[in-house]
Amino acid sequence: MTLEELQEEIQPADQNVIRLSKERWMKVGKPLFSLGKLEQQITRIAGIKRIACYEIKKKALVVMCADNGVVAEGVTQTGQEVTAIVAENFSRHETSACLMAEVAGVDIYPVDIGMITDVKNVTRKNEKTAYGTKNFVKEPAMTREQLWQAIETGIRIAGEKKQEGYDILLTGEMGIGNTTTSSAVASVLLNRDPAVMTGKGAGLDDDGLKRKIHVIEDAIGRYNLRQSDVLTVMASVGGYDIAGLCGLCIGGALYHIPVVLDGFISGVAALCAVRLIPAVADYLIPSHVSKEPAAHYVLDELGLSPLITCDMCLGEGSGAVAVIPLLEMGLKVYGDMGTFEDIKVEQYKVL
């Protein structure tokens, strides 16, 4: 589908179902609004699914793995080979997010959308856009055609997971250098100074941070990104993981599946999706707020408030996985707890 077709096809969440869900919460035999944000998100998911009573049984964490050419500028502590190592560990269920997912009952689906090497049990030809992006200090990270291919891959994967019976999608990523690309994209889309929007990522020292900020500032000026559309910004300084997650968010909206955002990178991808198709915002569920300095700006722009604040900045989808048990507990109360009438208590009123 073209962008224009997607914009026409994707509609906001069902407000009538949201109203019915709110009415259900008012009848549940507990103090009104006492589960706070959990109630809000359970209701939002009802509107996404277009049914007031629902279950969340099958959960999939989609981890977009990609390499970024800008690593050549010394903006990271580690080299690109780490991306493939961690991606392979995903296939062996040996990453932090994998171990957390075992507790939360979440299935892991790693995607090689743009790593510089192929990884057995991860790389699939129909999902790989290219062998890493270009170094955006020297040339745009990717072409518009490559960008749209990666977005379409994310949309397609969302549709496949819907067909496989998944009730909710979680966003994850792995890619050395992707806090640089995300900070660059966020700086432009939120019209903020890169010095405010850029952090140390996975362990840069002060000199490395200065270099990272300079690289971003230089690229924004060189490509005149302050005056550019979203797709141009993404193609110029983005990454394939951002593009794939952007597509996953769009796919969630297209197929009526809630999409749980992880941290900074997936938040930037979601922001791109919403800028392309505003109705996508209704389908996004927050998890936590990353320690990356721009993370809270991105969530604010999306109109989302984090469910948990743990100072996490691990990535991989770990924050999205961590919030699943909370959502399930909220849903359990919503679906199974007796009403005021059932427990023979006078119904609370809003005063």
288-328: pLDDT as tens digits: 999 899 999 999 999 999 999 998 989 999 999 999 999 99
Asked if the model's pLDDT at residue 78 lies above 90, the reply is no
Instruction: Give CA–CA dist 50/121, Å, rounded.
Output: 35
Q: Chain-wide mean pLDDT for the chain?
A: 96
Long-range residue pairs from 345-351, CB within 8 A, at least 24 positions apart, any chain: 345/29, 347/26, 347/27, 348/31, 348/32, 350/32
Retrieve residue 149's tokens. 């291919």
Strand partners, 63: 110, 172
Q: What mean pLDDT is predicted for residues 271-276? A: 98
Asked if the model's pLDDT at residue 201 lies above 90, the reply is no
Asked if the model's pLDDT at residue 345 lies above 90, the reply is no
Instruction: Give CA–CA dist 315/140, Å, rounded.
Output: 25
Confidence tier at 350 by pLDDT (50, 70, 90) = confident
User: In this structure, is the dihedral angle defined by the CA atoms of residues 323, 318, 129 and 219, taken in order, positive or negative?
Assistant: positive
Strand partners, 170: 61, 260
Q: What mean pLDDT is predicted for residues 192-196? A: 97
The H or E element containing residue 279 is none
Give the Å distances, CA to CA, from 24 to 33, 48, 224, 332. Answer: 12, 16, 51, 13
Single out the catalytic residue among 127, 316, 341, 346: 316
pLDDT, tens digit (0-9, with 9 covering 90-100), for 94-109: 999 999 999 999 999 9
Residue 316 falls in the annotated catalytic set: yes
- Lowest-confidence pick of 12-16, 309-313, 332-336: 309-313
Q: Could you give the percent of the chain with pLDDT greater than 70?
A: 100
